[in-house]
Chains A and B, each alone.
Chain A
Amino acid sequence: MQKYGISAGQIIGMMFWTIMGTAVISLPVTIGLHAPRDAWAAAVLFTIGGMALGLIVGALANRFPRKDFVVYTQQVLGTFIGKLLILVFLVWLFHTIGLVLWQITNFVKLSLLPETPIAPIMAIVLLPSAYVVYDGIEGIARSSQVVFLPTVIILFFLYLLLIPDVNLQNLLPVFEDGAANILRSSITPLAWAGEIMFLIFLAPSINKINKTAKYSIITMALIGFGGFIGELFYTGVFGLLRQHVSNPFYSLIRYIKPTAFIERYDILFVTINLLGNFVKLSVFLYVFVLCLSQWLGMKSHRPLVLPSSVALLFSTQYFVSSPNELVLFLDNVFPLYTIPLLYGFPSLVLLVAVIRGIKG
């Protein structure tokens, strides 16, 4: 369906922010609930899980090069089961896009526009993503490439400024939170890492499709490292207080000591967040409309962009009612169905394809 070839830098940029976009908002909170001192350990399990899934995605991409996941799933599992599983995935995806949209909107509302009703913010956040998705994968890939490097450099710069405030004593004693709590804190991040599975849908457009596994591993290593450093900083700077702030990353940036040159760094965080989440929302929406169009047997995803966006706009407002409710949901419910779906679905397709000896 798509002719544009995505380069290595573009796919890594896309997947980096696809996972990291809301991870920087929500994961520090859910991880901190269970293992505030050993939070960095959650990043290790997150990376291992994501890399393992990346290998499965790479194997599928190698087995079915230039073929769409929706098509070969039906070939491997049979039309009925294939369509049913894709439908389940679509329902999950629609709901998750809603959660993503709500998180971005809620952040904008809390940090920038407290008086503005949530609906107009949602519309404004969704509009650029809908536009770029309508244009196709090329627009998303190119904008991801543009966004990736400056945002990562700014993030690095912000962390550098915080080094004097890091108290490594706050990380001691190591592993005091206990193995059970560390594992518990890793569950929600593991669900997030599952989003590397979206590479399956983008793989047919990747220039060097045989390197899909390598790209996913590089992406997960980058995100894992970012998460590891982030968690070290949250605990190093805030200690146990990290459990009490609603957005540790935002609080961290606001904590940077003002200098004569720059007094406030908040806007840098807001910029990174909005740019990164623009990429995230665009990739999610693109995968949704692409998948739906293929599921419905349509030739193009474009007619679905506007209706899907409008449907999201209306339904998202009813998905979540408060930030605390969302945190509890992400901590207790979201991983329960997300991990089996995102890890299990591609694994099942690969397993059956190997057993049945089906190749693309």
Chain B
Amino acid sequence: MAKKVLVLLAIIPLLLLPGGCWDRRETEDLLLVDSIVFGKPNTGDTGQYRVSFITTRPSSGGGEQMGASGEEGTAQAATQWEVSSYGTTLEEAIRKFSIRSPRYVYLAHNRIIMFEEGLAKEGISQAVDFLLRARGTRLRNYVLIVKGDTPDLLTSSPQFEDTLAGELYSILETSVGEGDYYYPSDLNIIAQGILTNGLDPWAPFIETFSTDQASDSSADQPVIIRGTALFKADRLVGYLDAEETQRFLLLKGLSNAGYYDIEINGRKLSYRYEQAKVRRRLTVEDGRVNVSFDVTLKGLLEEIHFYSNLSKTEIASLEKSLSAKAEAALLGTVNRCKELGSDALGIGRLIHSRKPEIWKEYSKNWYSIYPEIGIEINVKAQIAGTALGTKPIVPKISE
């Protein structure tokens, strides 16, 4: 009997552990942050940081409410709430907000981290370091760069989701595998890019755009992902537009799908590749490293603006033209990265991993050697078919 009583007494303190003990915090006491934006105020005080939070207004989180008649349900959408706080350090800015917040600022459910352009140009390593130390931050948090003014972004309205963070998160999630014009980058990729020699960080960038040219109201300005921001070490050095991003992602092996539109003798054609293989090769000539990307694309003709029965010869000729177009476009993207001085493609890491003895020399002065590295692109575009149609629809009158 005494033993049973002792066992029961021993179980009581164990029950404190799941209860949370000193740490008991109910969900309704938490301010679940959806997104954090790090920036610098436009006041000219360069020593100040601005940290903005995008959250769901706690009182609106209840979901559906019934109308007075009880017959009709009126959905109460969760409303977005934005707040900014300032400090000489990031911690101070967050602390200032925590002091006046009636709820605990809870970062463990945060999904998106944004860096404002001004701060990103100065360098994001301190902010990344701060985030890695912060309790609750996850390395899976997506990172975005905000081109333009943060205040515009904060007051812009989401179009499909309840909050801006929710909308951006959904856009980034659905982009994976689509191979379109953006690909999510997260805190892990950014931090690795800052730390690793021969590999620079990159992240999609967003800006607001106006659907109504006459309207000045930022509430009418939804946010759009425009392309990719490139960094040199931890500093933002420039942007790739949507088309360049598609090529950048293809060369990085992150995208398997994309489009090429070509025009032959004024006749337009649209090709969508759905399979892509990228093989990276290194060759050494006279002690100099050259990098070759062998790209194989396989896809369908989606749109043809001319009549053709698409014979084998014609297909071969189109493939040749498409390959040339893709080669020029991919090389253009590589050159754009070089111009900006950003090795986000990881050319340095490629040399490091395959030719470590050469990298020993290169690593000492990589950023000045990088623009001189010979990069060759070989594309083999294959037309696998003509989508679900066979011959183009041509009006009889033209025949």
Q: Is A239 part of the contact surface with B, judged by Cβ < 8 Å?
A: yes
Residues in A with CB closer than 8 Å to B139 are 238, 241, 245, 251, 254-255
Are A239 and B195 interface neighbours, CB within 8 A?
Answer: yes
Residues in A with CB closer than 8 Å to B16 are 120, 124
Pick from A127, A172, A244: contact of B191, CB under 8 Å = A244
- Interface set, chain B 182-200, CB cutoff 8 A to A: 188, 191-192, 195-196
Q: How long is the Cα–Cα vector from A238 to B195 in the complex, in angstroms?
A: 11
Q: Is B352 part of the contact surface with A, judged by Cβ < 8 Å?
A: yes
Q: How long is the Cα–Cα vector from A112 to B349 in the complex, in angstroms?
A: 38
Q: Is A357 part of the contact surface with B, judged by Cβ < 8 Å?
A: no
Q: How long is the Cα–Cα vector from A237 to B188 in the complex, in angstroms?
A: 8
Q: Is B13 part of the contact surface with A, judged by Cβ < 8 Å?
A: yes
B143 CB to nearest A CB, Å: 14
Are A112 and B23 interface neighbours, CB within 8 A?
Answer: yes
Are B132 and A244 interface neighbours, CB within 8 A?
Answer: yes
Residues in B with CB closer than 8 Å to A116 are 21-23
Pick from B14, B20, B140, B195: contact of A241, CB under 8 Å = B195
Q: Is B353 part of the contact surface with A, judged by Cβ < 8 Å?
A: yes
Are A127 and B195 interface neighbours, CB within 8 A?
Answer: no
Are B13 and A127 interface neighbours, CB within 8 A?
Answer: yes
Are B196 and A173 interface neighbours, CB within 8 A?
Answer: no
Residues in A with CB closer than 8 Å to B132 are 244-245
What per-residue 1/0 map shows which CB atoms of A116-137 lie under 8 Å from chain B? 1100110110011001000000
Q: Is B279 part of the contact surface with A, judged by Cβ < 8 Å?
A: no
Closest to B349 in A: A169
Number of A-B residue pairs having CB atoms within 8 Å of each other in the complex: 74
Q: How long is the Cα–Cα vector from A116 to B23 in the complex, in angstroms?
A: 6
Q: Is A240 part of the contact surface with B, judged by Cβ < 8 Å?
A: yes
A117 CB to nearest B CB, Å: 7
Are A115 and B138 interface neighbours, CB within 8 A?
Answer: no
Are B10 and A239 interface neighbours, CB within 8 A?
Answer: no
Closest to A251 in B: B139
Q: How long is the Cα–Cα vector from A254 to B135 in the complex, in angstroms?
A: 12
Are A124 and B23 interface neighbours, CB within 8 A?
Answer: no
Known contacts A169-B353, A172-B353, A173-B356; decide if A241 and B191 are in contact (CB<8 Å): yes
Residues in B with CB closer than 8 Å to A120 are 13, 16, 21
Residues in A with CB closer than 8 Å to B268 are none
Q: How long is the Cα–Cα vector from A116 to B352 in the complex, in angstroms?
A: 46
Q: Is A257 part of the contact surface with B, judged by Cβ < 8 Å?
A: yes
Residues in A with CB closer than 8 Å to B192 are 238-241
Pick from B22, B140, B196: contact of A240, CB under 8 Å = B196
Are B10 and A172 interface neighbours, CB within 8 A?
Answer: no
Closest to B192 in A: A239
Q: Is B391 part of the contact surface with A, judged by Cβ < 8 Å?
A: no
Q: How long is the Cα–Cα vector from A173 to B140 in the complex, in angstroms?
A: 26
A204 CB to nearest B CB, Å: 27
Are B140 and A172 interface neighbours, CB within 8 A?
Answer: no
Pick from A115, A131, A255: contact of B188, CB under 8 Å = A255
Known contacts A131-B10, A172-B354; decide if A244 and B195 are in contact (CB<8 Å): yes
Q: Is B214 part of the contact surface with A, judged by Cβ < 8 Å?
A: no
Q: How long is the Cα–Cα vector from A307 to B242 in the complex, in angstroms?
A: 69
Pick from B14, B191, B349: contact of A124, CB under 8 Å = B14
Q: Is B7 part of the contact surface with A, judged by Cβ < 8 Å?
A: yes
Residues in B with CB closer than 8 Å to A114 are 23, 135
B318 CB to nearest A CB, Å: 35
- Interface set, chain B 116-171, CB cutoff 8 A to A: 132, 135, 138-140
Closest to A127 in B: B10
Q: Is A351 part of the contact surface with B, judged by Cβ < 8 Å?
A: no
Residues in A with CB closer than 8 Å to B66 are none
Residues in B with CB closer than 8 Å to A255 are 138-140, 188
Closest to B360 in A: A176
Closest to B111 in A: A258
Are B21 and A113 interface neighbours, CB within 8 A?
Answer: yes
Residues in B with CB closer than 8 Å to A244 are 132, 191, 195
Residues in A with CB closer than 8 Å to B352 are 172-173
Pick from A117, A172, A173, A256: contact of B22, CB under 8 Å = A117
A310 CB to nearest B CB, Å: 14
Q: How long is the Cα–Cα vector from A244 to B7 in the complex, in angstroms?
A: 43
A128 CB to nearest B CB, Å: 7
Q: Is B224 part of the contact surface with A, judged by Cβ < 8 Å?
A: no
Pick from A115, A127, A128, A240: contact of B23, CB under 8 Å = A115
Q: How long is the Cα–Cα vector from A127 to B12 in the complex, in angstroms?
A: 11
Are B188 and A238 interface neighbours, CB within 8 A?
Answer: yes
Known contacts A113-B22, A239-B192, A244-B132; decide if A124 and B354 are in contact (CB<8 Å): no
Q: Is B83 part of the contact surface with A, judged by Cβ < 8 Å?
A: no
B227 CB to nearest A CB, Å: 23
Q: How long is the Cα–Cα vector from A128 to B11 in the complex, in angstroms?
A: 9
Q: How long is the Cα–Cα vector from A254 to B238 in the complex, in angstroms?
A: 31
Closest to A168 in B: B353
Residues in B with CB closer than 8 Å to A254 are 138-140
What per-residue 1/0 map shows which CB atoms of A232-258 lie under 8 Å from chain B? 000001111100110000010011111
Are B23 and A241 interface neighbours, CB within 8 A?
Answer: no
Closest to A117 in B: B22
Are B20 and A128 interface neighbours, CB within 8 A?
Answer: no
B95 CB to nearest A CB, Å: 16
Q: How long is the Cα–Cα vector from A127 to B17 in the complex, in angstroms?
A: 12
Residues in B with CB closer than 8 Å to A121 are 17, 21
Q: How long is the Cα–Cα vector from A46 to B302 in the complex, in angstroms?
A: 57
Residues in A with CB closer than 8 Å to B354 are 172-173
Residues in A with CB closer than 8 Å to B188 are 237-238, 241, 255
A194 CB to nearest B CB, Å: 31
B147 CB to nearest A CB, Å: 26
- Interface set, chain A 94-149, CB cutoff 8 A to B: 110, 112-117, 120-121, 123-124, 127-128, 131
Residues in A with CB closer than 8 Å to B21 are 113, 116, 120-121
Known contacts A237-B188, A244-B132, A255-B188; decide if A123 and B13 are in contact (CB<8 Å): yes
Known contacts A127-B10, A245-B132, A255-B188; decide if A240 and B195 are in contact (CB<8 Å): yes
Known contacts A115-B23, A127-B13, A254-B139; decide if A176 and B356 are in contact (CB<8 Å): yes
Residues in A with CB closer than 8 Å to B23 are 112-116
Q: Identify 11 residue pairs between A and B in the complex whose beta-carbon atoms are under 8 Å apart, listed by A's number.
A: A112-B23, A113-B21, A117-B22, A123-B13, A124-B13, A131-B7, A173-B352, A241-B188, A251-B139, A254-B139, A256-B140
Give the 5 A-B residue pairs with the shortest CB-CB distance, closest first: A172-B353, A116-B22, A173-B356, A115-B22, A115-B23
Given contacts A239-B192, A254-B138, 5 further A-B contacts (CB under 8 A): A113-B20, A116-B23, A128-B10, A172-B352, A176-B356
Binding site for A on B (CB under 8 A): 7, 10, 13-14, 16-17, 20-23, 132, 135, 138-140, 188, 191-192, 195-196, 346, 349, 352-354, 356
